Amino acid sequence: MIILKGANENVIWLFSKSTNNQELYFTFLLLILNSKSQFMNTDPVIVERILDAPAKKVWEALTDNDQMRKWYFDISSFKPQLGFEFQFGGGSEEQTYVHLCKITEIVPEEKLKYSWRYANFPGNSLVTFELFSEGDKTRIKVTHEGLETFPQGRVFSKESFTSGWNQIIGKNLKDFVER
């Protein structure tokens, strides 16, 4: 038996040679290791922007609850502490989704990472904010990974998240810290 690992780490191809009649038979077996189709896009959403503000100011906008309410979501309680859990509502006029989050990593003025899932829906993802000082400006990189674990459809599509993060980081946060 020959085992070849595919380019996609989630699949393995198995080929076997028949010993009964010495003809070469290939048994094509595709094992899905994470119960998702091999064709599912598992690439994260990544949004990067240069903000005309120092990293300290951007960090405060990301971690101070009063400031977060002005550009992000109306989060009732937030503390930049490892293990802190918070939630907020978001969505559209037709449907509001309760976001459930827990801080999993924090490096002051550099990195904030938290889990992101939805009440009453399967799936779990991770959001990472990274800050890079570039003189008196800050490059912010937001990575949202694990989107393929959410139900398939327009609401939880990669395109929807890409649009949302571009609005949140490229417009809302930018306008807030650059004023």
Amino acid sitting at position 135 = G
pLDDT in the model for residue 110: 98
For 83-93, what is each residue's pLDDT tens digit? 999 999 988 88
CB 135 within 8 A of CB 50: no
Residue 38 within any structural domain of the chain: no
Give pLDDT tens digits along the chain (179 positions). Answer: 444 444 444 444 444 455 554 443 333 333 333 444 445 679 999 999 999 999 999 999 999 999 999 999 999 999 999 999 999 998 888 888 999 999 999 999 999 999 999 999 999 999 999 999 999 999 999 999 999 999 998 889 999 999 999 999 999 999 999 99
Do residues 22 and 77 share a domain? no
Residue 111 within any structural domain of the chain: yes
Residue 37 within any structural domain of the chain: no
DSSP assignment of the chain, as one string?
A: -EEEE-SSTTEEEEE---SSSS------EEEETTSS-TTS--PPEEEEEEESS-HHHHHHHHH-HHHHHHHS---S-----TT-EEEEEEE-SS-EEEEEEEEEEEETTTEEEEEEEETTS---EEEEEEEEEETTEEEEEEEEE-GGGSPSSSTT-HHHHHHHHHHIIIIIIHHHHT-
Do residues 144 and 93 share a domain? yes
Give the range of the structural domain holding residue 27, as residue numbers without chain letter: 2-32
For 8-46, what is each residue's pLDDT tens digit? 444 444 444 555 544 433 333 333 334 444 456 799 999
Residue 40 within any structural domain of the chain: no
Do residues 106 and 23 share a domain? no
Residue 23 within any structural domain of the chain: yes
| CATH number for the domain harbouring residue 160 | 3.30.530.20
Sole residue written with tokens 């959403």: 45
Do residues 52 and 19 share a domain? no
pLDDT in the model for residue 92: 80
d(CA 102, CA 5) in angstroms, rounded, equals 34
Residue 105 within any structural domain of the chain: yes
